[in-house]
Structure 1
Amino acid sequence: MEAGNVPDGSVHRRRSARSRGTREDRRTRGRGFGSRDSRGRAWRPRARGLAHRTGVQSRACDNDRPHRRRERRFGNRSLQDPRANPAVVADGRAFQERRLHRRHADRSARLGRSGGSGRSGGSSGLVRVVVIGGGPAGTFAAIAARKQDADAAVTLLTRERCEPYEKPPLSKAVLLGRVSPEDAPIAGPAGVAGHGVVLETSADCTAIDRTGHVVVLADGRCLPYEALVIATGSTPREIPQLPVGAPRTYYLRTEADARVLKAALAGCRDLLVVGGGLIGLEVASSGAMLGVKVTVLEVAPRILARVCDEQIGGAVHEAHARHGVDIRVGTTLLTATAQRDGRIAAVTGAGDRFVADIVVVGTGSKPDDTLAASAGLATDDGIVVDAQCRTSDRAILAAGDCVRFPGPQGLVRLENWLHAQDQGAIAGRNAAGANERYTTVPSFWSEQYDLYIQGVGWPAPGSARVHRPLGGGRVLIFDLIDGRLTYAMGINAQRDLAMARRLIERRVAVDATALADPAQPLAGMLKR
């Protein structure tokens, strides 16, 4: 859940967004769970193909369109109760009304439509596909492989003890106590088993025997495969002053991390956050909303330096200041020591001293490519793959945060919610016999207080910057090269950024003067 949309080595954060709603979305807009028809019957959306599997992430139902994020009101029914509505995922955006948005229905249908074109298992025998990693890339790879080849035996291995879940809410809604991780299963209420995938939890893979085509587990078992997908994700980037496991020190990566941190925040008066990137600032905003005094230390001259420009970073900084968060930029952490009362005393390079009940470290992440490297696969700050997600071993594919793949300017690593899903699906289908290429327009999003921060596209050196004034605290910025939009970012500008994504994807020629004029609708530029 984690920093920038910058190619070639910089980590691209987070959650992504698409703009197109499904036909079912348009038909049912404005009708929520709890509505009743003229005969008094409770309304539910009709199943359309595989679209009733509402747990599978929808590419089309996204955060770019707030009117597609339908509110659900449950009265006294708790969000902790899965019966309240197991098919929704908390976005943590409208805290007073606990707004929720539906996810996954379109993506499940999309995966279903892609099935049936690969090898069938008949004359060639049963195809065994093993997927390592229970995050979005691994989960989508497993589901896509099963859809591609209905006869394939697909096994998903995860180190965690639970069904794969969405991680974006961990730093926001989960910490605030609005939802639990189990409220957001990636594969829907029926889990990956509902898609014909075998899930093995608490499965720690220790080695890959490429010659014997088997995965070796910590319990001594060996799982054979014809095709293997590695989706091991990323791990927190530790700092020596506060290593993982240090007392009262937290690195947020998993649902277990979120539960422990949430409990710690309940009795916390002073919170120190090391790192002014997206994950650190999301935790800081959650802490401030819980009434905790928060201090953030950031080594760069400004927050969000790898993600946003100075204008957007400044707007986010101001929002934190309004909520009482003390942000110290250009500040290094020199030492951190435990006091007699257990609290942590942190001393900066400038000699300032801060004492905190707990410390959260959000200094980025690194690809978890250890398993691949030990198996002799090519790695370079991530597992190196081609456009079809294949590694240096043709029988092994990889996807998600752990890989470096061909981008517009060479190999790139993205840490991105939608990227993990899309690339995972491509890797899964190719593992089951397809031969598809992976291309993407990357994006990120972050929610802090009432700010919805987004970026979409590939930032590139030498681009011309255009500011589009929107007013009302909204910000929208474009980057152009040779008359075409390459990147856009903004605050609370979801509709405009949805249009910007389409302009980027279609490589539409645009006029900088028109982009700067809010009276010129972006949708009209698509028709030129």
Structure 2
Amino acid sequence: MSTVIVGAGQAGVHLAATLRQEGYQERIVLIGDEPEPPYQRPPLSKAFLLGSAPEHTLHLRAESFYRDSAIELLRGERVTWIDRPGRRVRLAGGTHLAWDRLVLATGARPRPLGVPGEDLGGVLPLRNLADARALREHMASARSVVIVGGGFVGLEVAAAFASEGGEAVLLEAGDRLMGRAVTEPVSRFFARAHADRGTRIRLGAGAAEFLGRRGHVTAVRTTDGRTHPADLVVTGVGVLANSELAEWAGLAADGGILVDAALRTTDPRVHAIGDCARFPSAHHRARVRLESVQNAVDQAVHTGRLIATGEVRSYRELPWFWSDQKGLKLQIAGLPTGHDHVQLLGEPGSGRFSTLVFRGGRLVAVESVNRPADHMAARRLLASGRELAPDRAAAPGFDLKAFTADTAELAV
């Protein structure tokens, strides 16, 4: 029989590699809908956009890897139907492929704004390599840039543009930057840092309409009634999970493909991993859908071992994230969502600090800005499950790295 993997991104490629590493001898078919070899996405809004990372450096694996590992890589192919009773998938060209295990690693797509003029030339999302190529080409000649969305991608693009000497207007409909992902002190720090670099930040202002001439954008009218000139607009207001294929096959979905603790869908022979999957988090005590390299890779490894060995275990890996905004390195361990207390370590004015994030007296996340030692200590501490009381964290001179080392020694 065979394992068919739908999606040739970070999760899909790592799953195929894990299967072989775990001794899986059956057929593996890896299906990607883009014509390029599978590639990394994080550099698209950073090094690739700045021209410092050629396309070949983005490849997840050399093309010889797939051949040498007997992984059938189908590029530029799209699965249009899943036949669960017959255990087959149908490709757009009509070909059918049989499977014993099916893994959906279908990822996500940019969330549309749903405003007039969104289809004008010069209004660009940034999700895949084709988007990044187009954006890099437009940036070379753009004079007036508007970025819609103050999340990780929007701020990374703003940082890239500022590093080239440009100035952009960044629109964020919420009351702070990265509002769904970070705490208020971190939001404030990044707002000040980007403003100091020349980015004009407009909070509480979303895009209401894109104005254009001869099919190309010329301005953005915002929800607060202002109009900003623009010959380039970058949109980044979140993503939607690619769950339609699963839904058409009768699998449960709700803001992502629903999976159990072992990352299996409502059909136990069908798995979902990466950006498209909503799973019960052992660290958040709720179902979550995460968009990160760590999540994609760790879920791929978990599922590869399950398929290869038959051993069913719950997925329990600690989530962690990063965003590199041209000299401003933000690293997050855990999930800050729903917190009720934040303890600062260090001084934001120095450009190097961390926040300890608590919920109900329990440490649930640590955010670190240009303090990588804190980030590594936080990952060890949170993964261990050991407690850190808020009053201990608030003590003068508290050192997270030293505390983590001490608790590790006590546990030996």
TM norm structure 2: 0.92
Question: Residues 463 and 300 of structure 1: is their aligned pair in 2 closer, same or farther, counting only changes over 3 Å?
Answer: closer
Deviation track 1:181-206 (CA, whole Å, cap 9, x = no partner) reads 32032235644334331111001111
- Which segment drifts farther, 343-352 or 257-266? 343-352
Q: What is aligned with 1:336?
A: 210
Secondary structure in 1 matching 2:170: strand
Aligned length: 402
Runs of 4+ in 1 over 6 A off after TM superposition: none
Secondary structure in 2 matching 1:437: coil
Give the alignment of 1:16-35 within 5 angstroms: none
Secondary structure in 2 matching 1:432: helix
State the one-letter code of the partner of 1:412.
V
d(CA) in 2 for partners of 1:175, 1:357: 18
d(CA) in 1 for partners of 2:337, 2:132: 35
Q: What is aligned with 2:358?
A: 480
Q: What is aligned with 1:55?
A: none
Tell me whether 1:527 sits opposite 2:405 in the alignment: no
Q: What is aligned with 2:371?
A: 493
1:409 positional shift: 2.2
Q: What is aligned with 2:146?
A: 272
TM norm structure 1: 0.73
d(CA) in 1 for partners of 2:215, 2:37: 38
- In terms of fraction of residues, the more strand-rich structure is 2
1:484 positional shift: 4.5
Q: What is aligned with 2:288?
A: 412
Deviation track 1:150-183 (CA, whole Å, cap 9, x = no partner) reads 3111010000112211110000111100012320
Give the alignment of 1:303-382 within 5 angstroms: 303-340=177-214, 342-382=216-256
Tell me whether 1:428 sits opposite 2:295 in the alignment: no
Q: 1:507 aligns with which of 362, 365, 385?
A: 385
Is the 8 Å Cα contact of residues 485 and 503 (structure 1) preserved in structure 2? no
Q: What is aligned with 1:397?
A: 271
Is the 8 Å Cα contact of residues 109 and 241 (structure 2) preserved in structure 1? yes
Is the 8 Å Cα contact of residues 244 and 251 (structure 1) preserved in structure 2? no
Q: What is aligned with 2:10?
A: 136
Question: Residues 309 and 279 of structure 1: is their aligned pair in 2 closer, same or farther, counting only changes over 3 Å?
Answer: same
Give the alignment of 1:21-420 within 5 angstroms: 127-188=1-62, 190-241=64-115, 245-340=119-214, 342-407=216-281, 408-420=284-296
1:404 positional shift: 0.8
- Which segment drifts farther, 517-526 or 496-505? 517-526
Q: What is aligned with 2:316?
A: 439
d(CA) in 1 for partners of 2:122, 2:199: 20
- Which segment drifts farther, 344-353 or 464-473? 464-473
- Which segment drifts farther, 309-318 or 334-343? 334-343
Q: What is aligned with 1:14?
A: none
Secondary structure in 1 matching 2:179: coil
1:465 positional shift: 2.4
1:333 positional shift: 1.8
Question: Residues 143 and 245 of structure 1: is their aligned pair in 2 closer, same or farther, counting only changes over 3 Å?
Answer: farther
For structure 1, which runs of at least 5 residues remain unmatched after alignment? 1-126
Question: Residues 377 and 243 of structure 1: is their aligned pair in 2 closer, same or farther, counting only changes over 3 Å?
Answer: farther
State the one-letter code of the partner of 2:265.
T
Tell me whether 1:455 sits opposite 2:332 in the alignment: yes
For structure 2, which runs of at least 5 residues remain unmatched after alignment? none
1:426 positional shift: 1.6
d(CA) in 2 for partners of 1:242, 1:436: 48
Is the 8 Å Cα contact of residues 120 and 215 (structure 2) preserved in structure 1? no
Question: Residues 331 and 482 of structure 1: is their aligned pair in 2 closer, same or farther, counting only changes over 3 Å?
Answer: closer
State the one-letter code of the partner of 1:503.
L
- Which segment drifts farther, 425-434 or 306-315? 425-434
Sequence identity, in percent?
34
d(CA) in 1 for partners of 2:128, 2:223: 31
State the one-letter code of the partner of 1:227.
R
Question: Residues 518 and 193 of structure 1: is their aligned pair in 2 closer, same or farther, counting only changes over 3 Å?
Answer: farther
Secondary structure in 2 matching 1:269: coil
